[in-house]
Structure 1
Amino acid sequence: MEATIKDEKKIKRFITVLSIAIPAVVALLFGYKIPDAEPLSFLPPIYATTNALTAILLISALIAIKGGKQKLHARLMTSCIVLSVLFLVMYVAYHMTSDPTPFGGEGSIRYVYYFILFSHITLSIAVIPLVLITYSKSYLKDFIAHKRWAKYTFPIWLYVAITGVVVYVMISPYYA
């Protein structure tokens, strides 16, 4: 079944809405604390592990596609999207039930931490439309465009996944 121009327009609108709605909803929920909720303090190592698994699966998916294993590649990439959604749900749930953890490092490590954190957050927002566009190109069977978009999406998504783990490792000594 060939995708029509109408299908592509619907998908573009959907991607635009999600790319705006996800960061907006996360920002709104991030500022809301559930009254009298039990802190979900067990979540940070779980969502850091989710980021690590995403990074491993992203690299595995690249290896799979380079080896001509399109179905495996597609399954791995879908798994990366699922893991990213799970991460986001856990991350928001943690922040809605727990007080923020200030970074306690001093000196130059503090600048390193905040640089990594800032770039991680900024690119995690930017990667949303990139992932959705890249995935949609595959869904629409436009593999030339998919490959073109993936050249940009892959390194950014991998950076976000890896820096998510780095941020966790750097702040974990300061969790209450």
Structure 2
Amino acid sequence: MKRTLTKIDKVAVPVIIALSVLVPIIVLILMYLPERYNIFGTQTGTFPFFHAVLNGSTAILLMLGYFFMSIKEYKLHRNTMITAFGLSAIFLVSYVISKISNDPVPYGGEGILRPVYFFILITHIVLSAIIVPLVLFTMYRGLTGEYKKHAKIARWTFPIWLYVAITGVLVYIFMWPYY
């Protein structure tokens, strides 16, 4: 049986797809800007610390949201996940501003830490791009009351989003001596 798109799906789904394509492209372009514009006059380490706080807070909220869902406290689950989404949105805006403002800082670690760092960094970056549509579709399905679809996609979204949040903090910890 083929499902027809609802009126709201006809708007929301293309918007989610467009954002899912545009966000990673914009971040990639900003990383390779030939010139930086330090809009707020911040020091190099200011944004990364703020980003680590946002990522760590998001990870805690994700685990708390999962807990609320597991004990069937759906209103608390919804509110916690919306807050996690809000922090992730703030992170994304701040991250874009940081890429406009500051030159990239190279990793200076050596030995066994170097491949560990790059494994964490690369998986973090790849999954960060993948998580955008997953989070948007998961939030959309939950907020529109399509709970079976929400649960089906959330099984994938939750562990990937949690991994991205935790590895965001780990990347900061690895990079901390070089800021």
Same fold, TM-score > 0.5, yes or no: yes
1:102 is paired with a residue whose SS is coil
* Amino acid in the other structure paired with 2:6: I
Residues 40 and 97 in structure 1, CA contact (< 8 A), matched pair in contact too: no
Q: Quote the sequence identity (%).
A: 40
- Pairwise CA RMSD of aligned residues? 1.5
Please identify, of 92-101 and 116-125, the stretch whose mean Cα deviation from structure 2 is larger.
92-101
Alpha-carbon distance in structure 2 between the residues aligned to 1:167 and 1:36: 22
For the 8 Å contact 2:37–2:100, the answer to whether it is kept is: no
Q: Which 10-residue stretch deviates more, 87-96 or 119-128?
A: 87-96
2:110 aligned to 92, 106, 113, which one?
A: 106
Deviations along 1:7-34, one digit per CA (max 9) or x if unpaired, are 2222111111110111112222232343
Structure 2 residues not aligned, in runs of 5+: none
Aligned position for 1:89: 93
Runs ≥4 residues deviating over 4 A:
none
Give the conservation status (yes or no) of the 8 Å contact 1:52–1:162. yes
Local SS of the residue matching 1:20: helix
Which string of whole-angstrom CA distances, capped at 9 and with x for unpartnered residues, describes residues 65-113 of structure 1?
1111111111111111111111112222222221211111112211110
Q: Following superposition of structure 1 onto structure 2, how do residues 21-170 of structure 1 map, counting pairs within 5 Å? A: 21-32=22-33, 33-35=35-37, 38-41=41-44, 42-170=46-174
Q: 1:31 to 1:39 in 2, by over 3 A?
A: farther
Deviations 1:132-157 (A, max 9, x none): 11111112211011111110000000
Name the SS for the 1:156 alignment partner: helix
Aligned length: 172
In structure 1, distance between residues paired with 2:95 and 2:18: 21
TM-score (norm 1): 0.92
Give the TM-score normalised by the residue count of structure 2: 0.90
